[in-house]
């Protein structure tokens, strides 16, 4: 069977139109910029925008982090070529507030590190787009951050076990515990996790509800639930990324 991306390359050696969120960007030389785009149609790809720092007509200064764009792009193996970009939204509400900037930058970096290149994932695209829209309209909250993280891990198949013990496989109806040694597998029963920190049933219920609730802002974690959920999610995320998150220290300082 011909791989999806090879089929795209063969069929699309012309300029294609797609919608994407800019999740990473860097200057290249005196005039160019290289962006990492999470596109609805083709997944994550990198593209060079030649003359982006000079051409107002083709780019108009829109190649900024977490902007949502309509792209004209020539798809290639490796580095594609962005020929033009138009704004869907630059999320002005995010850019006016440091906590929102921090959370948006964190979300984009996390998607960049966890998502393989050229993996078509419209469900994850909708999650990131919805989180950025939420941050554009409302203040950043720890509950929204953890809602985003558990859904991100779930979509990518990385979420920790919540319903059954990660050790013996038994149901966790009698209480749940973090492992004595931090592991990304999930929660443990009292026997398998003896010596680890206890996780309240309400925390587990909130995490499960977050994955069945389709919208941001529909649930709120208590402080204790945030602390317990944060421990679990931070361990799970750290196990699946190749380097420390550059955006995390800034986020924690807010």
Residue 3 confidence (pLDDT): 52
Residue 10 confidence (pLDDT): 47
Residue 44 confidence (pLDDT): 96
Query: What is the second-level CATH architecture of the domain 4-92?
Result: Beta Barrel (2.40)
Q: What tokens does 225 get?
A: 């639930």
Report, as an integer, the average pLDDT of 111-127.
Answer: 96
Neighbours of 6 (CB within 10 A): 12
Instruction: State the span(s) of the chain assigned CATH 2.40.50.140.
Output: 4-92
Residue 192 confidence (pLDDT): 87
Higher pLDDT, 184 or 91: 91
Q: How confident is the model at residue 222 (pLDDT cuts 50, 70, 90)?
A: very high
CA quadruple 21, 27, 31, 34: dihedral, nearest 10:
-40
Neighbours of 239 (CB within 10 A): 13
Residue 9 confidence (pLDDT): 47
Q: What would the pLDDT profile of 16-62 be if each residue is shown by its tens digit?
A: 999 999 999 998 988 888 999 999 999 999 999 987 776 655 666 68
Q: What would the pLDDT profile of 138-173 be if each residue is shown by its tens digit?
A: 999 999 999 999 999 999 999 998 999 988 999 987
Q: Model pTM? A: 0.90
Within 8 A by CB and 6+ apart from 48, the residues are: 28, 32, 33, 34, 79, 80, 81, 82
């Amino acid at each position: 069977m011909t791989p999806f991306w090879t089929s795209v390359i063969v069929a699309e050696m012309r300029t294609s139109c797609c919608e994407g969120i800019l999740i990473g960007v860097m200057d290249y030389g005196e005039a160019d910029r290289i962006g990492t785009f999470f596109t609805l149609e083709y997944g994550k790809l990198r593209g060079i925008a030649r003359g982006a720092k000079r051409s107002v007509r083709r780019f108009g200064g829109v190649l900024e982090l977490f902007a949502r764009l309509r792209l004209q792009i020539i798809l290639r193996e490796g580095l594609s070529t962005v020929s033009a970009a138009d704004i869907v939204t630059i999320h002005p509400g995010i850019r006016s507030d440091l906590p929102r900037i921090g959370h948006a930058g964190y979300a984009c970096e996390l998607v960049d590190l966890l998502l393989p290149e050229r993996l078509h994932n419209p469900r994850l695209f909708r999650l990131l787009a919805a989180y950025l829209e939420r941050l554009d309209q409302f203040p950043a909250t720890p509950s929204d951050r953890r809602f985003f993280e558990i859904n991100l891990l779930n979509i990518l198949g990385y979420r920790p076990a919540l319903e059954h013990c990660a050790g013996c496989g038994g149901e966790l109806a009698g209480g749940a515990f973090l492992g004595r040694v931090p592991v990304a597998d999930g929660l443990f029963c009292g026997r398998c996790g003896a010596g680890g920190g206890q996780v309240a049933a309400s925390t587990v219920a909130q995490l499960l509800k977050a994955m069945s609730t389709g919208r941001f802002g529909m649930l709120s974690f208590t402080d204790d639930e945030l602390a317990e959920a944060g421990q679990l999610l931070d361990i799970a995320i750290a196990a699946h990324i190749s380097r420390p998150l550059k955006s995390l220290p800034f986020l924690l300082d807010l």
